[in-house]
Amino acid sequence: MRNCLFFLLIMLSACSSLKVDYDYDAQTDFSSFQTYNYYPDIQTGLSDLDSRRLLSALDSVLISKGFKSSEEPDFFINIESREFGPTQNSNVGVGIGGGGRNVGGGVSIGVPLGGSGIEREILFDFIDSQRDILFWQAISTSSYRENASPAERERLLRQIVVKVMSKYPPL
């Protein structure tokens, strides 16, 4: 029983999740958007290397969906990000007890779940270049390791972009 509980705790702490929330203007004709570009003064909040990784992944996915980069685009893309630490309210109580003949005792240990606790939120805004209004938005939240290797960073950023763009355009 103890081995099963230990294994379960290890599995729960090893899990990392990637969550994406979407919002869009339901009145938008998404078929009218064929070309894109990034705001010239885009400040992603990422390092220069991670910004290039993210934009490269996004270019790749957009091109695979039939979009073209243009100096006079149908829509602009703005990206912002931030890092934060989640609230530490997830834990598991593990108890050991004994007793007999009206004598009892117990020990409870709180085991926090999760890794380093640092998460990164990346906001993707798509803005109609003619009307200067937001028409589609995605917010991704994922775990973040500051000491990740360049290959791990590229893999995670690509994974984020693929999941974000899986719902664009909305059906």
Percent of the chain with pLDDT over 70: 73
Six token digits for residue 57: 């992944």
Asked whether residue 150 is domain-assigned, the answer is yes
Angle at 41 between CA 71 and CA 38, to 5 degrees: 40
Q: How many domains does the chain have?
A: 1
Number of CB atoms found within 10 A of residue 4's CB: 8
- Give the pLDDT band of residue 112 (cuts 50, 70, 90): low
Whole-model pTM: value is 0.74
Residue 35 in any domain: the answer is: yes
Residue 55 structural domain? 17-83+116-171
Kindly report the backbone phi and psi dihedral angles of residue 66, in degrees, each rounded to the nearest multiple of 5, phi listed first. Answer: 95, 5
Specify which residues 57 forms β-bridges with. none
Mean pLDDT of 140-152: 91
* pLDDT, tens only, 61-70: 999 999 999 9
CATH code for position 56? 3.30.160.670
User: Residue 8 has what pLDDT?
Assistant: 36
**Residue 1 covered by a domain:** no
The CA distance from 171 to 168, in Å, is: 8
Decide if 9 is inside a domain.
no
Measured CA to CA, the distance from residue 34 to residue 30 in angstroms comes to: 9
Mean pLDDT of the chain: 83
Residue 11 is assigned to a structural domain of this protein: no
Position 51 in a domain: yes
9 pLDDT above the threshold of 70? no
Check residue 3 and give its pLDDT. Answer: 47
Note whether residue 7 is domain-resident.
no
What is the distance between the alpha carbons of residues 43 and 51, in angstroms, rounded to a whole number? 9
| Residue 2 falls inside a structural domain | no
Residue 4: pLDDT above 70?
no
Each residue of 17-26: pLDDT tens digit? 899 999 999 9
Q: In the predicted model, what is the mean pLDDT of residues 3-14?
A: 39
